[in-house]
Protein backbone atom coordinates (compact mmCIF):
# COMPACT_ATOMS: atom_id res chain seq x y z
CA UNK A 1 0.00 0.00 0.00
CA UNK A 2 3.03 2.30 0.40
CA UNK A 3 4.13 2.45 -3.23
CA UNK A 4 0.80 3.80 -4.64
CA UNK A 5 0.74 6.57 -2.05
CA UNK A 6 4.32 7.58 -2.93
CA UNK A 7 3.33 7.65 -6.59
CA UNK A 8 0.30 9.80 -5.80
CA UNK A 9 2.52 12.12 -3.74
CA UNK A 10 4.96 12.50 -6.65
CA UNK A 11 2.13 13.37 -9.06
CA UNK A 12 0.64 15.81 -6.53
CA UNK A 13 4.05 17.46 -5.98
CA UNK A 14 4.40 17.90 -9.73
CA UNK A 15 0.97 19.50 -9.89
CA UNK A 16 1.90 21.88 -7.08
CA UNK A 17 5.10 22.75 -8.94
CA UNK A 18 3.14 23.63 -12.07
CA UNK A 19 0.77 25.74 -9.97
CA UNK A 20 3.77 27.50 -8.44
CA UNK A 21 5.19 28.33 -11.85
CA UNK A 22 1.81 29.70 -12.92
CA UNK A 23 1.66 31.80 -9.75
CA UNK A 24 5.16 33.15 -10.39
CA UNK A 25 4.20 34.10 -13.95
CA UNK A 26 1.12 35.88 -12.63
CA UNK A 27 3.25 37.75 -10.08
CA UNK A 28 5.74 38.86 -12.73
CA UNK A 29 2.86 40.11 -14.89
CA UNK A 30 1.40 42.01 -11.93
CA UNK A 31 4.77 43.60 -11.12
CA UNK A 32 5.23 44.65 -14.73
CA UNK A 33 1.77 46.21 -14.77
CA UNK A 34 2.51 48.08 -11.56
CA UNK A 35 5.79 49.37 -12.98
CA UNK A 36 4.07 50.66 -16.11
CA UNK A 37 1.40 52.39 -14.04
CA UNK A 38 4.05 54.00 -11.85
CA UNK A 39 5.82 55.37 -14.91
CA UNK A 40 2.52 56.70 -16.29
CA UNK A 41 1.71 58.32 -12.96
CA UNK A 42 5.11 59.94 -12.75
CA UNK A 43 4.85 61.54 -16.17
CA UNK A 44 3.87 65.22 -16.40
CA UNK A 45 1.07 64.33 -18.84
CA UNK A 46 -0.73 61.99 -16.44
CA UNK A 47 -0.17 64.47 -13.63
CA UNK A 48 -2.20 62.97 -10.76
CA UNK A 49 0.62 64.00 -8.44
CA UNK A 50 1.58 65.96 -5.36
CA UNK A 51 4.63 67.12 -3.43
CA UNK A 52 6.03 66.46 0.05
CA UNK A 53 4.62 63.68 2.25
CA UNK A 54 2.05 64.37 4.91
CA UNK A 55 2.84 63.65 8.59
CA UNK A 56 0.97 60.36 8.34
CA UNK A 57 3.08 59.00 5.48
CA UNK A 58 4.46 55.48 6.09
CA UNK A 59 7.65 54.33 4.38
CA UNK A 60 9.10 50.82 4.23
CA UNK A 61 11.72 50.21 6.91
CA UNK A 62 15.22 50.96 5.67
CA UNK A 63 14.00 52.68 2.51
CA UNK A 64 15.22 56.29 2.19
CA UNK A 65 12.67 58.96 1.27
CA UNK A 66 14.82 60.00 -1.68
CA UNK A 67 14.25 56.61 -3.33
CA UNK A 68 10.49 57.25 -3.60
CA UNK A 69 9.42 59.65 -6.38
CA UNK A 70 8.03 62.78 -4.65
CA UNK A 71 4.62 62.54 -6.38
CA UNK A 72 4.11 59.02 -4.98
CA UNK A 73 5.04 59.65 -1.35
CA UNK A 74 1.57 60.67 -0.22
CA UNK A 75 -0.54 57.96 -1.79
CA UNK A 76 -1.25 54.34 -0.96
CA UNK A 77 -3.22 51.98 1.24
CA UNK A 78 -2.63 51.41 4.94
CA UNK A 79 -4.45 48.14 5.55
CA UNK A 80 -6.77 48.30 8.55
CA UNK A 81 -8.13 44.75 8.37
CA UNK A 82 -10.64 44.13 11.12
CA UNK A 83 -11.34 47.82 11.75
CA UNK A 84 -14.86 49.21 11.48
CA UNK A 85 -15.68 52.11 9.15
CA UNK A 86 -17.85 55.02 10.37
CA UNK A 87 -21.32 53.84 9.40
CA UNK A 88 -22.88 57.11 10.58
CA UNK A 89 -21.01 59.20 7.98
CA UNK A 90 -23.59 61.17 5.91
CA UNK A 91 -23.61 61.12 2.10
CA UNK A 92 -25.97 61.61 -0.82
CA UNK A 93 -26.73 58.82 -3.25
CA UNK A 94 -26.98 59.13 -7.03
CA UNK A 95 -30.60 60.34 -6.76
CA UNK A 96 -29.66 63.12 -4.34
CA UNK A 97 -31.26 61.38 -1.36
CA UNK A 98 -29.55 61.86 2.02
CA UNK A 99 -28.16 58.52 3.23
CA UNK A 100 -25.79 57.16 5.83
CA UNK A 101 -22.80 55.08 4.86
CA UNK A 102 -24.17 52.31 7.05
CA UNK A 103 -27.40 52.08 5.02
CA UNK A 104 -25.62 49.62 2.71
CA UNK A 105 -24.52 47.25 5.47
CA UNK A 106 -26.28 44.77 7.71
CA UNK A 107 -27.44 42.01 5.37
CA UNK A 108 -24.62 41.40 2.88
CA UNK A 109 -20.87 41.99 2.44
CA UNK A 110 -19.89 45.20 0.65
CA UNK A 111 -17.36 45.75 -2.13
CA UNK A 112 -16.09 49.30 -1.60
CA UNK A 113 -14.08 51.50 -3.97
CA UNK A 114 -12.98 55.12 -3.74
CA UNK A 115 -13.02 57.22 -6.90
CA UNK A 116 -13.83 60.68 -8.14
CA UNK A 117 -16.26 60.97 -10.98
CA UNK A 118 -14.19 63.35 -13.12
CA UNK A 119 -11.05 61.19 -12.91
CA UNK A 120 -9.39 61.05 -16.34
CA UNK A 121 -7.74 57.66 -16.00
CA UNK A 122 -7.24 55.41 -12.96
CA UNK A 123 -10.70 55.55 -11.39
CA UNK A 124 -12.30 54.51 -14.67
CA UNK A 125 -9.79 51.71 -15.18
CA UNK A 126 -10.32 50.45 -11.63
CA UNK A 127 -14.13 50.40 -11.75
CA UNK A 128 -14.01 48.88 -15.25
CA UNK A 129 -11.81 46.12 -13.83
CA UNK A 130 -14.22 45.61 -10.95
CA UNK A 131 -17.23 45.39 -13.26
CA UNK A 132 -15.43 42.93 -15.55
CA UNK A 133 -14.50 40.65 -12.63
CA UNK A 134 -18.01 40.79 -11.15
CA UNK A 135 -19.50 39.88 -14.52
CA UNK A 136 -17.65 36.56 -14.36
CA UNK A 137 -18.86 35.63 -10.88
CA UNK A 138 -22.00 33.59 -10.30
CA UNK A 139 -22.70 35.87 -7.32
CA UNK A 140 -24.96 38.87 -7.98
CA UNK A 141 -24.76 42.45 -6.74
CA UNK A 142 -27.89 43.29 -4.81
CA UNK A 143 -28.53 39.67 -3.87
CA UNK A 144 -25.18 38.35 -2.55
CA UNK A 145 -23.28 41.59 -1.95
CA UNK A 146 -23.45 45.36 -2.40
CA UNK A 147 -21.13 47.57 -4.48
CA UNK A 148 -20.51 51.02 -3.01
CA UNK A 149 -18.44 53.66 -4.81
CA UNK A 150 -17.56 56.69 -2.66
CA UNK A 151 -16.29 59.87 -4.32
CA UNK A 152 -13.38 61.46 -2.46
CA UNK A 153 -13.89 64.77 -4.29
CA UNK A 154 -16.30 66.99 -2.32
CA UNK A 155 -17.11 68.87 -5.54
CA UNK A 156 -18.78 65.79 -7.03
CA UNK A 157 -22.57 65.96 -7.19
CA UNK A 158 -25.42 63.42 -7.24
CA UNK A 159 -25.84 64.24 -10.94
CA UNK A 160 -22.25 63.15 -11.62
CA UNK A 161 -22.79 60.05 -9.50
CA UNK A 162 -25.96 59.21 -11.45
CA UNK A 163 -24.16 59.53 -14.78
CA UNK A 164 -21.42 57.17 -13.58
CA UNK A 165 -23.93 54.64 -12.32
CA UNK A 166 -25.80 54.66 -15.62
CA UNK A 167 -22.54 54.05 -17.47
CA UNK A 168 -21.63 51.04 -15.35
CA UNK A 169 -25.06 49.50 -15.44
CA UNK A 170 -24.54 49.12 -19.18
CA UNK A 171 -21.44 47.01 -18.37
CA UNK A 172 -22.90 44.99 -15.50
CA UNK A 173 -26.15 43.56 -16.84
CA UNK A 174 -27.55 41.42 -14.06
CA UNK A 175 -31.08 41.30 -12.66
CA UNK A 176 -31.37 43.77 -9.78
CA UNK A 177 -28.07 45.46 -10.65
CA UNK A 178 -29.51 48.96 -10.17
CA UNK A 179 -30.31 48.12 -6.57
CA UNK A 180 -26.89 46.60 -5.95
CA UNK A 181 -24.61 49.40 -7.19
CA UNK A 182 -24.46 52.67 -5.22
CA UNK A 183 -22.53 55.84 -6.11
CA UNK A 184 -22.15 58.32 -3.25
CA UNK A 185 -20.96 61.91 -2.90
CA UNK A 186 -20.42 63.93 0.25
CA UNK A 187 -18.66 66.77 1.99
CA UNK A 188 -15.02 66.87 3.03
CA UNK A 189 -15.69 65.86 6.66
CA UNK A 190 -17.60 62.69 5.73
CA UNK A 191 -15.08 61.78 3.02
CA UNK A 192 -12.13 62.20 5.39
CA UNK A 193 -13.75 60.05 8.05
CA UNK A 194 -14.32 57.12 5.71
CA UNK A 195 -11.08 57.32 3.70
CA UNK A 196 -8.90 57.65 6.80
CA UNK A 197 -10.64 54.77 8.53
CA UNK A 198 -10.08 52.64 5.42
CA UNK A 199 -6.40 53.64 5.14
CA UNK A 200 -6.88 55.22 1.70
CA UNK A 201 -4.22 57.93 1.24
CA UNK A 202 -4.50 60.38 -1.66
CA UNK A 203 -3.47 63.97 -2.39
CA UNK A 204 -4.55 66.95 -4.48
CA UNK A 205 -2.18 68.51 -6.98
CA UNK A 206 -3.10 72.18 -7.34
CA UNK A 207 -0.89 72.61 -10.42
CA UNK A 208 -2.59 69.92 -12.52
CA UNK A 209 -5.95 70.12 -10.69
CA UNK A 210 -6.08 66.36 -10.32
CA UNK A 211 -5.87 63.85 -7.49
CA UNK A 212 -3.01 61.43 -6.96
CA UNK A 213 -4.45 58.23 -5.54
CA UNK A 214 -3.93 54.46 -5.34
CA UNK A 215 -6.22 51.95 -7.04
CA UNK A 216 -7.88 48.99 -5.42
CA UNK A 217 -11.07 47.75 -3.83
CA UNK A 218 -11.92 46.70 -0.29
CA UNK A 219 -14.32 44.00 0.79
CA UNK A 220 -16.14 44.56 4.08
CA UNK A 221 -18.24 42.35 6.33
CA UNK A 222 -21.99 42.98 6.68
CA UNK A 223 -21.12 44.63 10.01
CA UNK A 224 -18.92 47.21 8.26
CA UNK A 225 -15.47 45.83 9.17
CA UNK A 226 -12.64 45.74 6.64
CA UNK A 227 -11.94 42.16 5.60
CA UNK A 228 -9.80 42.21 2.46
CA UNK A 229 -7.92 44.63 0.17
CA UNK A 230 -7.43 43.85 -3.53
CA UNK A 231 -4.97 46.09 -5.36
CA UNK A 232 -4.53 47.31 -8.94
CA UNK A 233 -6.91 48.06 -11.79
CA UNK A 234 -7.76 44.46 -12.62
CA UNK A 235 -9.08 41.98 -10.07
CA UNK A 236 -8.98 38.21 -10.36
CA UNK A 237 -12.51 36.78 -10.23
CA UNK A 238 -11.25 34.02 -7.93
CA UNK A 239 -9.71 36.54 -5.50
CA UNK A 240 -12.85 38.66 -5.53
CA UNK A 241 -15.12 35.67 -4.96
CA UNK A 242 -13.00 34.35 -2.10
CA UNK A 243 -12.94 37.81 -0.47
CA UNK A 244 -16.73 38.14 -0.70
CA UNK A 245 -17.32 34.62 0.63
CA UNK A 246 -14.91 35.14 3.54
CA UNK A 247 -16.35 38.54 4.41
CA UNK A 248 -19.87 37.10 4.41
CA UNK A 249 -19.04 34.76 7.27
CA UNK A 250 -20.68 31.82 5.52
CA UNK A 251 -23.79 33.66 4.33
CA UNK A 252 -22.62 33.60 0.70
CA UNK A 253 -21.04 30.82 -1.33
CA UNK A 254 -21.16 27.04 -1.48
CA UNK A 255 -19.50 24.10 0.33
CA UNK A 256 -17.01 24.03 -2.55
CA UNK A 257 -16.00 27.60 -1.68
CA UNK A 258 -15.41 26.55 1.92
CA UNK A 259 -13.18 23.68 0.78
CA UNK A 260 -11.24 25.89 -1.62
CA UNK A 261 -10.75 28.55 1.04
CA UNK A 262 -9.22 25.88 3.28
CA UNK A 263 -6.62 25.28 0.55
CA UNK A 264 -6.00 28.99 -0.16
CA UNK A 265 -4.87 31.83 2.06
CA UNK A 266 -4.97 35.61 1.65
CA UNK A 267 -1.64 37.44 1.40
CA UNK A 268 -2.07 41.06 2.56
CA UNK A 269 1.21 42.12 0.93
CA UNK A 270 -0.08 41.28 -2.56
CA UNK A 271 -3.83 41.49 -2.02
CA UNK A 272 -4.23 38.06 -3.59
CA UNK A 273 -5.05 34.50 -2.59
CA UNK A 274 -2.40 31.80 -2.95
CA UNK A 275 -2.27 28.05 -2.41
CA UNK A 276 -1.67 27.00 1.21
CA UNK A 277 0.63 24.08 0.39
CA UNK A 278 0.32 22.07 3.60
CA UNK A 279 -3.46 22.43 3.70
CA UNK A 280 -3.71 21.37 0.07
CA UNK A 281 -1.55 18.32 0.80
CA UNK A 282 -3.79 17.39 3.74
CA UNK A 283 -6.89 17.64 1.55
CA UNK A 284 -5.22 15.59 -1.20
CA UNK A 285 -4.15 12.99 1.37
CA UNK A 286 -7.65 12.76 2.80
CA UNK A 287 -9.06 12.44 -0.70
CA UNK A 288 -6.60 9.63 -1.49
CA UNK A 289 -7.53 7.72 1.66
CA UNK A 290 -11.24 8.10 0.89
CA UNK A 291 -10.72 6.97 -2.70
CA UNK A 292 -8.74 3.90 -1.58
CA UNK A 293 -11.35 3.10 1.03
CA UNK A 294 -14.14 3.34 -1.53
CA UNK A 295 -12.17 1.13 -3.93
CA UNK A 296 -11.55 -1.54 -1.29
CA UNK A 297 -15.20 -1.45 -0.22
CA UNK A 298 -16.34 -1.85 -3.81
CA UNK A 299 -13.94 -4.76 -4.44
CA UNK A 300 -14.96 -6.59 -1.24
CA UNK A 301 -18.64 -6.14 -2.07
CA UNK A 302 -18.06 -7.39 -5.58
CA UNK A 303 -16.30 -10.53 -4.33
CA UNK A 304 -19.17 -11.33 -1.96
CA UNK A 305 -21.62 -11.17 -4.83
19 in a domain, yes or no? no
Q: For residue 145, what pLDDT band results from cuts at 50, 70 and 90?
A: very high
Is residue 10, in this structure, part of any structural domain at all?
Answer: no
pLDDT value of position 259: 64
- In this predicted model, what pLDDT tens digit does every residue of 32-54 receive, in sequence order? 343 333 333 333 333 333 333 33
Q: Are strands 272-275 and 264-267 parallel, antiparallel or unpaired?
A: antiparallel
Are 219 and 228 a contacting pair, CB within 8 Å?
Answer: yes
Residue 34 in any domain: the answer is no
Residue 276 contacts residue 263 (beta carbons within 8 Å):
yes
Residue 59 confidence (pLDDT): 44
15 in any annotated domain: no
**pLDDT value of residue 177:** 93
Q: Is the pLDDT of residue 87 over 90?
A: yes
**Helix or strand run (H / E) with residue 247:** helix 237-248
Domain tally, the chain = 1
* Domain CATH for 104: 3.40.30.10
Q: Are 305 and 54 in contact, with CB atoms under 8 Å apart?
A: no
Does a structural domain hold residue 292? no
Classify residue 287: in a domain, yes or no.
Answer: no
Q: 91 lies in a domain?
A: yes
The answer to whether residue 158 sits within a structural domain is: yes
Q: What is the DSSP string of 56-109?
A: T----TT--GGGS-GGGTT-EE---TTPBP-TT-EEE-TTS-EEEGGGG-SSS-
How far apart, in Å, are the Cα atoms of 91 and each of 104, 148, 230? 12, 12, 24
What's the mean pLDDT in 53-62? 40
| Average pLDDT, rounded, for the chain | 77
Where does the pLDDT of residue 181 fall: very low under 50, low under 70, confident under 90, or very high at 90 and above?
Answer: very high
The Cα angle at residue 163 between residues 94 and 230, in degrees rounded to 5: 75
**What is the pLDDT at residue 10?**
39
CA angle 250, 255, 261 (to 5 degrees): 70
Tell me if 164 sits within 8 A of 272, measured CB to CB: no
The kind and range of the H/E element at 2 are helix 2-42
pLDDT band of 102, cuts 50, 70, 90:
very high
> Is it the case that residue 6 has pLDDT exceeding 60?
no
pLDDT in tens, 114-126: 999 999 889 999 9
Q: What pLDDT is attached to residue 79?
A: 95
Longest alpha-carbon distance in the chain:
86
Domain that holds residue 90: 43-253
Amino acid sequence: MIWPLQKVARHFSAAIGIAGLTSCATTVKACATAAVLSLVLASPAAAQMTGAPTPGYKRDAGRPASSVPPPLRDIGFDQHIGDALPLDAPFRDESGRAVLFGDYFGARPVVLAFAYYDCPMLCTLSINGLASALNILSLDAGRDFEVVIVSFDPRDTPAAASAKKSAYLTRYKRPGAAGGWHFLSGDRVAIDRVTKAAGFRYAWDAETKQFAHPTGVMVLTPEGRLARYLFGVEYGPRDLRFAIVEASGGRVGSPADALLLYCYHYDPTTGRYGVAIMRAIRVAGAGTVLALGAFIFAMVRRERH
